[in-house]
Amino acid sequence: MSLYMVFFELRRRWVLLAGAVVGLGILLGFTVWSWTFFEDRLSELEQLFRAMPEDALKLFVKGGITTFNFDVYYLFNFHVFTYVAILGALFAYMGSNIIVGELQSRTLWIPLSSPLPRWRIVTYKYLALLTFSSTVSLATPIILYPTARLLGVELGGKQLEWYFKLYLTLIPFYAAVTALGILLAAIFADRTANIVAPSLVIAMYLIDALTLGTRLEWLGKFSITRYHDALRILVRHQILATHIVVLTLFSLVVIMAAVILFSKRDITIG
C-alpha cells in the first residue's frame, strides 16, 4: 500500500516531472552553449564579472570569486539562482499544495476515508515529492555530460564527479524546503500556505546571499539556503558534513511537527 501511494502521487505529476527535466535540460544546454562563445575571451569575461556590483555576485553565486572557469560560470548563470532559489521555492509550494490543493479541490477525503492513519498519508505524500525533487536534481548532471561533450566543452572525470556531488547535496536541501511547505499547510490549511511557503524560501535566500561578508551574516545561519554552499562544493571541492546534518535534522523535526499538527487538525470536507 505504501509504495502504491507514493507511485500514485508521482503518476499524478509525471507530466510536470517530465516538463521540469526537459525545461531544465534546455536551460542547461543554453548555458553550456553560451560558454563556448566566451571561452576564448576568458580574460574579458572575467573583467566583466569582477566589475559587477558585489551584491549581484552574492545574489547569483553566494560568495566571492577567486578564480574564473566553466564551473563558476555555470554556478553564476544557471545553478545557484535556478536550483536553490527558484526550485527551492517551487518545492516548498508543492509541499504545501499537496495538502492544501486537495483540501481546496475536496479530494482529500479519498485518502482520509482509507484505514491508513493520517501520519502515513502525510509521510507517503512527502516521500513522493522527495522522489520527484531527487529525480529532477540527479537528472541534471546526467544531462550535463553529453550536452557538454556535444558542444565541445571538456568535463574531466573528477570534475563530473563533483557535479554529481553538487546535485546529491541538493536532495537534503529539497527535503528541508518540502517539509517546510507541508508544515505550513498543516498550520494554515488554506491557500495562505501556498503563498507563505515559496515566499519564505525566497526571503531566506535573499537574506543569506545579501548578508554575506556583512555584520548581519549571522542571520544567514537561520536560512535553509545557507546549507547548500554550491561554490564551496563545486569550486573548492569541499562538502561540509555539518550542512548535511543540519538539513537532515531540520527535515525530520519539521515533517514530524507537520504530521502531529495534521493528525490533530479537525478537517471538514464538504
Question: Each residue of 228-264: pLDDT tens digit?
Answer: 999 999 999 999 999 999 999 999 999 999 999 998 8
Q: What residue ranges in the chain does DSSP mark as E strands?
A: none
| 124, three cell numbers | 507517503
Q: 268 falls in which pLDDT band (50, 70, 90)?
A: low
* Residue 34: how many other CB atoms lie within 10 Å: 14
Alpha-carbon span 90 to 109, nearest angstrom: 25
Closest CA to 139 of 13, 21, 23: 21
143 residue type, one letter: I
List, for residues 70-88, the tens digit of each pLDDT value: 998 899 889 999 999 999 9
> How deeply is 224 buried, as exposed, middle or buried, from its count of CB atoms within 10 A (0-12, 13-18, 19+)?
buried
Whether the predicted pLDDT of 1 surpasses 60? no
CB 224 within 8 A of CB 180: yes
Question: Does pTM surpass 0.85?
Answer: yes
Do residues 155 and 67 make contact, with C-beta atoms less than 8 angstroms apart? no
Residue type present at position 36: T
Q: What is the DSSP string of 28-74?
A: HHHHHHHHHHHGGGHHHHHHHHHTS-HHHHHHHHSS--SS-SHHHHH
How many alpha carbons fall within 13 Å on the CB side of residue 185?
Answer: 31
More confident position, 66 or 86: 86
Closest CA to 103 of 226, 192, 178: 192
Comparing CA positions, the residue from 112, 113, 87, 28 lying closest to residue 228 is: 87
